[in-house]
Amino acid sequence: MSNSASELVVAVPREADPEEKRVALVPAMVPALTKGGLKVRLETNAGMAAGFPDQLYLDKGAEIDSDRAELLKHADIVLQVRALGANDGVETDDVSLLHDGQVLIASCDPLTFPDSVAPVAERGVTAFSLELVPRITRAQSMDILSSMATVAGYRAVLLAATAAPRMFPLMMTAAGTLKPARVLVIGAGVAGLQAIATAKRLGAVVYGYDIRPAVREQVESLGGKFVELELEAGQSETQGGYAKQMDEDFYRRQREAMKKVIADCDVVITTAAIPGRKAPILVTTEMVEAMAPGSVVVDLAAERGGNCEVTSPGETIDHNGVAVLGPCNMPSDVPVHASEMFSKNAVTFLQLMVKDGKLNIDTEDEIIRDTLLTRKKIIVNGRVRELLNMEPLEPPVSSAAESEDNGEPASTATDESADENVAAGDSAAS
């Protein structure tokens, strides 16, 4: 903990993954924390890859520390873009630098890598995973999945336009009329809707498909044409208005009906990601082979295994003349705005727990309760406990909110498992 009992220290280390360009806190958000009685420290060059040099942070009242171990040692709260499971495959000793009583706020991908949660629990860290922020109106300003999906949807269209051997808009030139590209976006979640809007702005003829008939109006409001397949979707929506994961028979019938639609398109963008699970196959090899040479598929679910059967994460595959792109961590390719959005989400979440410079973790608040992974050396998140085959926790004896005094966590319990949604394009810290 910090040396000053009256001032909590928020630390922002440089991201462990050298390919990650985002930063968890941008200079413009520093005053929001310092005015709330917090001290902000960053590791040297933490924001450089995102276009935010150290001097910008210093100008806003933050401090810079060149020693990562010392930075984390004296931190009360650690803000990161990626931590724990979200850094899978990246060599890092960050967990060993954390200690009892600290609070970690980051994208942690606990539903995909639940085993990564145990080490921070053992060290007494109170960890929050921002991907688990519930999708309720009050939490919209903290929803990193929606923010990062917005960036991914935009970026996907630019990748497709660059890879395609044709231009997107209708053009009437002295050399003749050029037909507009036909773009199909599968999944009308946040990423899908942004992709539809961006492709339309570039002049393409845009089609949108989703298993939820209710999103038709949203697709059409952006200038897209809603694709209707003769399928009985049944209960295709959760109470929050997001697509549910369907059974394999439904996906099989969906693929059969989709084949003809895809064959007529120049570009297909897929966006269906299921938190903690492999993405459903929506575009088969047979469908790709039905597309004309020069066509493009951009698979936004590549990190989750891909919606396209041909997809190879992080690579571009040429399959019979069709380019199949499997981009990973697309928000990192637009680090300035992606960092600004992530930072706003993270700071808003932190402000929910900081009152008058003191940390108050109120587990009666569903936003705090649903994102909480570990506390008092216990894994408290019900969904993670289920994945680890652990018994549900007993409900707390007292429902009163408890403060964090001298780093000692208050009691909590959560054993409610939310619906596993197909949050289109909204996978983790992607």
pLDDT in tens, the chain (430 residues): 444 456 899 999 999 999 999 999 999 999 999 999 999 999 999 999 999 999 999 999 999 999 999 999 999 999 999 999 999 878 778 999 999 999 999 999 999 999 999 999 999 999 999 999 998 999 999 999 999 999 999 999 999 999 999 999 989 889 988 999 999 999 999 999 999 999 999 999 999 999 888 899 999 999 999 998 766 555 444 444 444 556 667 767 777 778 889 999 999 999 998 777 889 899 999 999 999 999 999 999 999 999 999 999 999 999 999 999 999 999 999 999 999 999 999 999 999 999 888 999 999 999 999 999 999 999 999 999 999 999 988 765 443 444 444 333 333 333 333 333 344 445 444 4
Backbone φ/ψ region at 428: left (φ over 0), alpha (ψ -120 to 50), beta? left
Give catalytic residues, as residue numbers.
135, 140, 143, 146, 242
3-state secondary structure of 171: strand
Burial class (CB in 10 A: 0-12, 13-18, 19+), 128: buried
Among 163, 251, 149, CA closest to 209: 251
Q: What is the DSSP letter of 179?
A: P
Start-end ranges of CATH 3.40.50.720 in the chain? 8-143+335-418, 150-333
Q: Considering only CA atoms, which of 64, 327, 69, 285 is closest in space to residue 191?
A: 327
> What is the pLDDT at residue 429?
40
What the block records as the tokens of 325 is 């792109």
CA distance linking residue 86 with residue 115, whole number of Å: 12
The third-level CATH classification (topology) of the domain covering 150-333 is Rossmann fold (3.40.50)
Q: So what CATH class is 8-143+335-418?
A: alpha beta
Give the side-chain half-sphere CA count within 13 A for 162. 9
Amino acid identity of 108?
C
CA distances from 348 to 84, 133, 228, 352, 393 (A): 22, 12, 39, 6, 28
Q: Which two structure tokens, joined as six digits, stand for 394?
A: 């007993």
Place of tokens 């539903």: 111
The answer for 51, left when phi > 0, alpha when psi is -120 to 50, beta otherwise, is left
Name the pairing type of β-strands 358-361 and 402-403. antiparallel
Enter the pTM of the model: 0.86
The DSSP symbol for 225 reads E
Q: What is the pLDDT of residue 126?
A: 97
Question: What is the pLDDT, as a whole number, of residue 399?
Answer: 39
